[in-house]
């Protein structure tokens, strides 16, 4: 039975089918890609509706918003920080989040490692890579990543699971393909050279997640296509 797409359940079913179709086109199993429901700016009530439909992993962009929201949502969920993390927020982030996607500097890695040690947790992270070279974007330049991986070998509370990127905004998702494929190629080089598996590729959002999956994404971050327009 097809669900109407004006309901959360219907939109979720449509997104999952689009994800599965992209996997089929790429010759991948659908279970190789996970959905991060980007709940930033949406209320705890909307999160609870998503949980009732089977969603367990949510993405937030700001520590301040998550601080208010997470206690009002069901327990046992995975909360991923997908936005820029300031060093003065690392202690809260270590206690609120299951994973951080956008670690973008050595100083942030070191600060987050200390905060995780204080919180008694080990945090999986992705290194944010500025593949496009845009001056306004956060992230490591590609040639900085090997040194970051080398530094990570001394950080006992961080697990570098993979890399993430955000391509330049373009309404045509095909224009993002080159950035996604380049990150996958770089990831393969870094994994071979460093010994880190880097199995996570966090790339793709509402406008381009299908292209990202075709190019190897293992986590896609979908907000408006899932929850509807933000108010």
* Record: fold of 8-227: TIM Barrel (3.20.20)
Q: How far apart are CA 203 and CA 206, in angstroms?
A: 11
Please give the Cα distance from 176 to 5 (Å, whole number).
26
Q: Please give the chain's pLDDT, 231 residues, in tens.
A: 455 668 999 999 999 999 999 999 999 999 999 999 999 999 999 999 999 999 999 999 999 999 999 999 999 999 999 999 999 999 999 999 999 999 999 999 999 999 999 999 999 999 999 999 998 899 999 999 999 999 999 999 999 999 999 999 999 999 999 999 999 999 999 999 999 999 999 999 999 999 999 999 999 999 999 998 876
Q: What is the pLDDT of residue 1?
A: 47
* pLDDT value, residue 231: 62
pTM, 2 dp: 0.95
Would you say 36 and 59 are in contact if contact means Cβ atoms under 8 Å apart?
A: yes
Domain layout of the chain by residue ranges:
8-227
The rounded distance, in Å, linking the Cα atoms of 65 and 56 is 18
Quote the pLDDT of residue 25.
98
Q: At what angle do helices 145-152 and 177-194 cross, to 10 degrees?
A: 40
Query: Cβ-count burial of 64 within 10 angstroms (0-12 exposed, 13-18 middle, 19+ buried)?
Result: exposed
**The pLDDT value given to residue 3:** 56
């Amino acid at each position: 039975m097809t669900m109407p797409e004006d309901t959360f359940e219907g939109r979720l079913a449509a997104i999952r089918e689009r994800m599965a179709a992209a996997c089929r086109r790429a010759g991948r199993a659908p279970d190789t890609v996970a959905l991060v429901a980007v709940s930033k700016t949406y209320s705890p009530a909307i999160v609870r509706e998503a949980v009732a439909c089977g969603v367990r992993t949510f993405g937030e962009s700001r520590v301040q918003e998550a601080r208010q929201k997470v206690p009002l949502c069901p327990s046992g969920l995975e909360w991923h920080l997908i936005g820029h993390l300031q060093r003065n927020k690392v202690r809260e982030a270590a206690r609120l989040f299951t994973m951080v996607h956008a670690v973008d500097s050595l100083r942030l890695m070191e600060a987050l490692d200390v905060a995780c040690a204080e919180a008694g947790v080990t945090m999986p992270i992705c290194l944010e890579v500025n593949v496009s070279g845009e001056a306004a974007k956060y992230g490591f330049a590609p040639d900085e990543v090997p040194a970051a991986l080398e530094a990570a070998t001394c950080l006992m509370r961080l697990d570098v699971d993979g890399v993430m990127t955000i391509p330049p905004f373009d309404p045509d998702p095909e224009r993002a393909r080159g950035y996604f494929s380049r990150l996958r190629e770089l990831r393969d080089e870094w994994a071979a050279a460093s010994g880190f598996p880097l199995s996570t590729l966090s790339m793709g959002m509402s406008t381009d997640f299908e292209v990202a999956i075709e190019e190897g994404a293992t986590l896609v971050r979908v907000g408006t296509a899932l929850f509807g327009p933000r108010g």
